[in-house]
Structure 1
Amino acid sequence: MTRAPHPADPAPRRVLLVDLSRPLPDLVADDRHATALVVATWHGRPVGSLELALDADPEATRARLAPLLALVPGARAAEQARPPRLPDDRLLSVTVVVSTIVARREDLELMLDGFARVDHPDVEFLIVDNRPVLPVDDVLPGLVAGRDRVRVVHEPRRGISAGRNAGVAEARGEIVVFTDDDVRVEPDWLRELTRPYVDDPSIDAVTGLILPAELDTPAQIWFERYYGGFSGERTWQPLVLTPERAAGGLLTGARVRVEADGELVRRFAVYGVGAFGAGANMSFRRSALHRIGGFDLALGTGTPARGGEDLAALVGVLWTGGRIAYEPGAVVHHRHRRGTDELLHQLRGNGLGFTAMLTGLVLRDPRHLLGLAWQLPLAVRSMAVQSVRRIGGGAGPVVEDAPAGAPGAARADLADGGAGAAGADGADGPDGADGAAGADGAAGDAGHGYPRSLVLAELRGYPSGPRAYLVSRRAARRSSWVAPVDEPSWPVRGRAGRADRPGPAAGGPATAPATVGGAGDPARDSLVPRP
């Protein structure tokens, strides 16, 4: 049953990107929005965010941007220290894989329109049709027809892992990028996401920044504010995650060192890697995907386990000695679930998927039992603190981050972290606090917390994960097979039932909106709403 609106529900917010290198725009309230989430950029690169009240007087609103303006010196210094833009001949070839069941035509079309504007000389976009049976009036051929660099493959086995593995099997690029069918990407997304591979050949995976495409409903605001959307540790500073020995030196990869510009930021247990990446914006060297065996067919959306496949892959990279980079300049905008019932379902799936993932890791490599036992007390403490803070709706700083390079610059933005952050101890972080530390507050709608039902939905999902994984694994074996540790989970190229599918003509790409703050560079125009 749909939850009835409550007077204390948060009001809609505008989501705006404001480039601080240009004249500030006039930001005013309208009939629907009295509050905005403002993401500040510097020459198109995100540097921080805050929520602020909008006023009828643009000067009054502009004055409230002062905390973001304080980020300018740090942003300018970081820009000067950053290496120049890579020339095209140094960029690596890329395949972008999107597994879809074509449930939301509008979202899929917006995603494809964004792909058309992506600035990269050597990229292909693979749309993996993950529907077991194709409808007679299929809209997908029409959506992709006439779009350069886009092709469709069909994977009838259910589940996002099967779809992603099918994409890997067909991929031509050295780097394989994964995103979801309800995102909107920035034009320089792939340049930024793949640059760390060129700068550091030891990097095996790179994740990027996930911002909300809209905050129009209470469910979207709750998910963004208290869970940080998909990134529980949203930061605006590039990071590198390196595995270390743990549990008395018996395990390599169970503990992870996080560095920014070569300086230690914190350490955390490998099972908390979800704080630094999610399947809506992640990439891997194709060789790394082969090393970890691809995506676990028993995990992910479309299976009884309902999630965890992206975290399992990231854990696999670190567990096998690989390194992961986080690049906040690689931006996608995700449309969060609009309805509270949808969010309840998603959060229960998050909890269920997290423990299903842990079950799969242990079955694949029993040494994970030692890693989990070593980390369990801190994980329980972290989850308890997060749950209490979410229910209480504790107030936090309005400014969601410090200037790049400043103390605390890598702390959490808007949220503590979701299920994926469980087990992150952060003992060596800037303030010595546990993994739940960081800024979680935001301006507006103070005085009421996160609905208890949503917190409980995630917690109630945890006990169901192990059984769900076993059920999912049996189902995967019946439909095909589950790969052993040393064999990839994807089928060989050219498997029957997977082929490019041409379709009738489709409409041309949409026009990109203008950049905030004046005449902009079309190559950096964003799909996020503008004032």
Structure 2
Amino acid sequence: MAVAELDLDPDGPDGPVLSFGPALGGPPPGAGDIFALVRLRGRPIATVLGHVGADEDPAEVLTAVFRARKGPYGPPAPAEPTPAKPTRAAPTPAEPVREAPVREAPAYGAPAPPAAVVTAPPRTTVVVATRERAGQLARALDSLLAQDHPDFRVLVVDNAPVTTATRDLVESRYAGRVDYVQEPRPGLAVAHNSGAAAADGTVIAFTDDDVIADPHWLTALTTPFAADPGLGCVTGLILPARLTTSAQILLESHGGFAKGFEPRLYDPASPPADEPLFPFTAGSFGSGANMAFRAEALRAVGGFDPATGTGTPARGGDDLYAFVRILAEGHRLRYAPEALVWHHHRETWQDLRNQAYGYGAGLTAYLTAILVRHPALLPALLAKLPRGLAHARAITAHRPDPAGDPAPGTHGARAHAWPRDLSRLERRGMLYGPLGYLKARIRVRRQTDGRTQPRGEAQPRGEAQPRGEARVRRRARVRRRTSGGR
């Protein structure tokens, strides 16, 4: 399936324009499916999926699909955020989950808003944590260096490297344009904290080494900080760069990482009445591949919990922890869909299984971190616990395969049944998360005290090890036993 962008500029002389920029590869040869981001005068407003015949014009087909769903298009809607509403309401345990967590931009045919005062984005450091993925990193860095932001710096954090590939890449291909920091302790949160410590400027933005950033991404992500001094965090839109495997298509058909096309503002001083779990539904705020923080606010809450995140026994939750801590301190959080990155989803079924388990573990690990490090939040969490358990059960439920065309809110992708084994893995991850977090805390404490050096960690139950790695581990154990433990 090809990935494209469809620009519906009604003022342009040539009508809708279709481009295939972010994907690796071009349009499908002859007939094929195309997943397209729809823009109106450059602003992301929706996604559509269309099948293009061998003799059909792809732009015309996708425009017709969009019009059939949304009607005639006009000037874009106001870009000001609306009061936050949940991505989907927390259902009761008996209620099936059928709605994917993405919505279209509202009222795209409404009159254009008055011209806003242009505010210059603040000085920003972009932190990219990476580990032994120099090829992907180069692709991400190329897109970051092409940003239209007027004042930014790119910083690569090489996390627990085993080779010099990342350092060699930065110091040769990007010398003088990208800064390099090495963090020997494993863990995404540790790497992010190292990047934050080395950052300068008002804002610190974070993204991953497997994304391609839209040229306007950093400007859209950081400009809101200049307009709102009470803003502590901004997150943005994440869409797939490729949809070439069944695992990638399945993930995206159930929402992927996207949080919709409507700007939203989360204000702890005025909690959304229709989101009873706020602020503990941190997954609805955004994702770590596309987030920025006011530097002083992030440092004031102690940064990221080093016992969370990929590369630790906790398996994830570092971004969720930071979102909740920022809101708990009274700062506002904004979701800005104009801040777009294209993400390279995991390609294999085993990758998707690992991801499902990790999401479940990261969810309960971050909640455990909140309670352990900030017990004053316990009463608020306990009051929301019954609804939270129902919500957790619902989001990991088996999703039936809806018949017919995708309904509004399904992210423009055809629906596919969510395998029951992925739901079970996610729930098993949830059970493991608190234990994983406690293991990670012990490891962090030992590393801090200097008693042990960082070591590679075993995979938790529920996730298969790569066969080669497992074989090496077994042989090493046999050698130790036969050599008397040496």
Q: Give, in angstroms, the shift of residue 69 of structure 1.
A: 6.2
Q: Give, in angstroms, the shift of residue 347 of structure 1.
A: 1.1
Q: Give, in angstroms, the shift of residue 106 of structure 1.
A: 2.5
Identity level (%): 36
**Which residue, 53, 56, 79 being the options, matches 1:55?**
53
Equivalent position SS for 1:75: coil
Pick closer, same or farther for the CA change 1:308–1:60 going to 2, 3 Å.
closer
**Which residue, 263, 267, 284 being the options, matches 1:238?**
263
Pick closer, same or farther for the CA change 1:383–1:455 going to 2, 3 Å.
same
Per-residue deviation, residues 321-355 of structure 1 (Å, max 9, x unmatched): 11101111000011010011011011101101111
| Aligned residue in 1 for 2:113 | 81
5 Å-filtered alignment, 1:338-349, equals: 338-349=347-358
Q: Does 1:469 align with 2:423?
A: no
Equivalent position SS for 1:65: helix
| Aligned residue in 2 for 1:449 | 417
Equivalent position SS for 1:152: strand
- Aligned residue pairs, count: 405
- Checking the alignment, whether the CA contact within 8 Å between 1:48 and 1:68 is kept in structure 2 is no
Letter in 2 for 1:141: D
Determine the C-alpha separation between the residues in 1 that align with 2:38 and 2:411. Answer: 17
5 Å-filtered alignment, 1:208-227, equals: 208-226=236-254
TM-score by length of 2: 0.77
Q: Does 1:292 align with 2:293?
A: no
Determine the C-alpha separation between the residues in 2 that align with 1:124 and 1:24. Answer: 35
Q: Give, in angstroms, the shift of residue 273 of structure 1.
A: 2.0
Per-residue deviation, residues 274-315 of structure 1 (Å, max 9, x unmatched): 112110000000111112111101000110001000000000
**Which residue, 129, 132, 139 being the options, matches 2:158?**
129
| Aligned residue in 2 for 1:201 | 229
5 Å-filtered alignment, 1:15-34, equals: 15-21=3-9, 22=12, 23-25=15-17, 30-31=28-29, 34=32
Pick closer, same or farther for the CA change 1:441–1:160 going to 2, 3 Å.
closer
Per-residue deviation, residues 430-468 of structure 1 (Å, max 9, x unmatched): xxxxxxxxx337554x6x511212121111111111111
Pick closer, same or farther for the CA change 1:141–1:74 going to 2, 3 Å.
same
Q: Give, in angstroms, the shift of residue 26 of structure 1.
A: 6.8
Determine the C-alpha separation between the residues in 2 that align with 1:441 and 1:133. Answer: 39
Unaligned runs of 5+ in 2: 20-25, 80-110, 451-486
- Checking the alignment, whether the CA contact within 8 Å between 1:97 and 1:177 is kept in structure 2 is yes
Pick closer, same or farther for the CA change 1:267–1:478 going to 2, 3 Å.
same
**Which residue, 171, 188, 207 being the options, matches 1:179?**
207
Equivalent position SS for 1:440: coil
Give the RMSD, CA atoms, in angstroms: 2.6
Equivalent position SS for 2:76: helix
| Aligned residue in 2 for 1:96 | 126
- Checking the alignment, whether the CA contact within 8 Å between 1:55 and 1:61 is kept in structure 2 is no
| Aligned residue in 2 for 1:391 | 399
Which range is displaced more, 73-82 or 125-134? 73-82
5 Å-filtered alignment, 1:362-381, equals: 362-381=371-390
Determine the C-alpha separation between the residues in 2 that align with 1:195 and 1:101. Answer: 30
Which range is displaced more, 304-313 or 77-86? 77-86
Pick closer, same or farther for the CA change 1:121–1:62 going to 2, 3 Å.
closer
| Aligned residue in 2 for 1:440 | 410
Equivalent position SS for 1:211: strand
| Aligned residue in 2 for 1:422 | none
Pick closer, same or farther for the CA change 1:173–1:32 going to 2, 3 Å.
farther
5 Å-filtered alignment, 1:349-364, equals: 349-364=358-373
Pick closer, same or farther for the CA change 1:199–1:26 going to 2, 3 Å.
closer
Unaligned runs of 5+ in 1: 1-12, 246-255, 258-263, 401-438, 483-531
| Aligned residue in 2 for 1:65 | 66
Letter in 1 for 2:154: F
Per-residue deviation, residues 367-410 of structure 1 (Å, max 9, x unmatched): 3332222112222222333334x43133587364xxxxxxxxxx
Q: Give, in angstroms, the shift of residue 164 of structure 1.
A: 0.6
| Aligned residue in 1 for 2:331 | 322
| Aligned residue in 2 for 1:511 | none
Q: Does 1:313 align with 2:322?
A: yes
Determine the C-alpha separation between the residues in 2 that align with 1:125 and 1:32. Answer: 40
Determine the C-alpha separation between the residues in 2 that align with 1:193 and 1:52. Answer: 30
- Checking the alignment, whether the CA contact within 8 Å between 1:396 and 1:442 is kept in structure 2 is no
Q: Highest relative contact order (Cα 8 Å, sep 6+), 1 or 2?
A: 1
Pick closer, same or farther for the CA change 1:72–1:441 going to 2, 3 Å.
closer
| Aligned residue in 2 for 1:39 | 37
Determine the C-alpha separation between the residues in 2 that align with 1:441 and 1:151. Answer: 37
